[in-house]
Amino acid sequence: MKKFSALLFLMLGLTALVRAQKAAINISVKNSNAKSCELWIRSKALGKNFLKLGQYNIQLAKGKGVINIDLKKPVFADLSIADNDTEQVRWNTMRLYLVNGYNLKINADAATGKFVVIGTGSKDNQPLPLKIPSYNIKKLYGDSLPNRIIALANNHRQQLQSIYALYFRKHKPSADFIKNIKEDINYSALNIYYYFKGNSMIQLFDVYDRHKPAWKKIQDSLLKVVKLDNSNALTAVNYSQFLSNFLSREKRSMDLEAMLHPVEFYKEHYNTDIETGKKLYFAEGEILLTEKIINKHFTGAVAETAYAMLLDEAMGEQDRRNLVSIYNRFCSRFPKSEYCLLFKPSIEKIRKAEAKVLTADMVFLPQNGSDLKSFKEILALAKGKTVLLDMWGTWCGPCREEIAEHGAAIKAHFKNKGLDYYYIANNDINHLEEWKKLIAYLDMKGTHVLANDSLNKDIMDTVKGEAYPTYVIIKKDGSWELSKAGYPLDRDKLIKQLEAALAM
């Protein structure tokens, strides 16, 4: 009996030890006075990264720091060290391969950028024997045909193959590391090509449309070498990046088809005419269309990851339409997914916010201001006031995101200080119901205008606005200036600019 008890105790102890195993990194940095370094798990990063997954800040005391991470599967991560904590920081980065049970001891020199790695798992985590060559796709922007970009993508893949073949011979890494590196290399050309193709589609519009068969032919040839739906490649950074790009660019492709070939597009997707089809298309919203793309192309673990990317981006951009129902379908399909629990608190907040209604502090001009045609008319309405004017749209993710992140804080700072708020919604003249729902949802207290095309164009042309959101500060004397806070919004800079305007 005693032997049995001892054996049971030993087994329980070993089980606990196995469960307690994590990926450990002990780092020592010299020639740096930085107080921390950064670790970014690449395959966990999700689009907008609303959940902030995979982002770790390793605190350094006298140049030394430790982090332990519990991983469900192997991951690639980037470890970045700096020589200081100022804005003039110089970064050095090393790619790591982390597995539960690995115990890496890393000595880094911030002056030279050299890393020395020992310990369990070190064979998978040595510095590369050659530096991976950089490539510049921006110099190819404007190409109407894919010849140069596919040559660049294939050349980069061949360079990676040569570098890692040398690494394999020199360090004899684990079989899993070799397998995942090969998957990453296999998807490198597709990732580069598809990203560039998506940019060309957005930048060139009708020029791209005329040459679309040539772009598609090369994409199809790449997808004969690697699979679109590949759960075995989820650890690979290039596949994760490609998956994220695929979801967003396929949606943009639908937008382009709706714009350039509306009769065919609305007939194919909605079996209706253009006018009715446009209403149905807008009503579905970005994320419902993305869900359709996921269900069409992906299964299993890839679909689960793609759903997580969808939810993460939608929450980051405050895209609430259909979000709760999509989350419910996701959790019904993947009830054991960690993302169900991770997203649940935010979904509950959205449920509550959906019940918000318009208040007396949300002021609508007669005819919702749709009769206004010029910036001068807006300045006349603001005469004698200091106003923060926000050019936004219900369809604009960055607009919704910045209102949610900064709106309440700015209003709290300027409470009872005489600052007014004008929200001018653009390209929303046919979205009246969604416009008012979103105003209530985001608690947008202020004066609201539903701009026609003339007003939108006149304001943006006058202030030289280049994109949405555009912020304009109107002063009591009728003069105005553009926000200097940039994008993403530097709230403190905008507050200082507003305080100066109020002080006039």
Is it the case that residue 480 has pLDDT exceeding 50? yes
Top mean-pLDDT range of 2-16, 261-275, 373-387: 373-387
Contacts with 139 (C-beta within 8 Å, 6 or more apart), sequence order: none
The closest alpha carbon to 77, from 25, 104, 42, belongs to 42
| Mean pLDDT computed over every residue of the chain | 93
Q: Among 1-10, 202-211, 241-250, 385-394, which stretch is predicted with the lowest mean pLDDT?
A: 1-10
**Residue whose pair of structure tokens reads 């959906």 in the numeric block:** 354
Q: How far is CA 34 from CA 60, 84, 127, 204, in A?
A: 7, 4, 22, 44
Confidence of residue 10 (pLDDT cuts 50, 70, 90): very low
What is the H or E stretch that residue 472 is in?
strand 470-474
* pLDDT(5) > 60: no
pLDDT band at 14 (very low <50, low <70, confident <90, very high): very low
Residue 486 has pLDDT above 70, yes or no: yes
pLDDT in tens, 404-430: 999 999 999 999 999 999 999 999 999
Cβ within 8 Å of residue 162, ≥6 positions away: none
pLDDT at 334 over 50: yes
pLDDT greater than 70 at residue 13: no
Helix axes 274-297, 262-270, angle to 10 degrees: 60
- Mark out the alpha helices in 334-418 (DSSP H runs): 338-353, 375-381, 397-413
Any idea what DSSP says for residue 7? H
Domains of the chain, start order? 21-124 (2.60.40), 129-230 (no CATH), 362-502 (3.40.30.10)
Q: How would residue 327 be classed by pLDDT, with cut points 50, 70 and 90?
A: very high
Provide the pLDDT for residue 42: 83
pTM, full prediction:
0.89
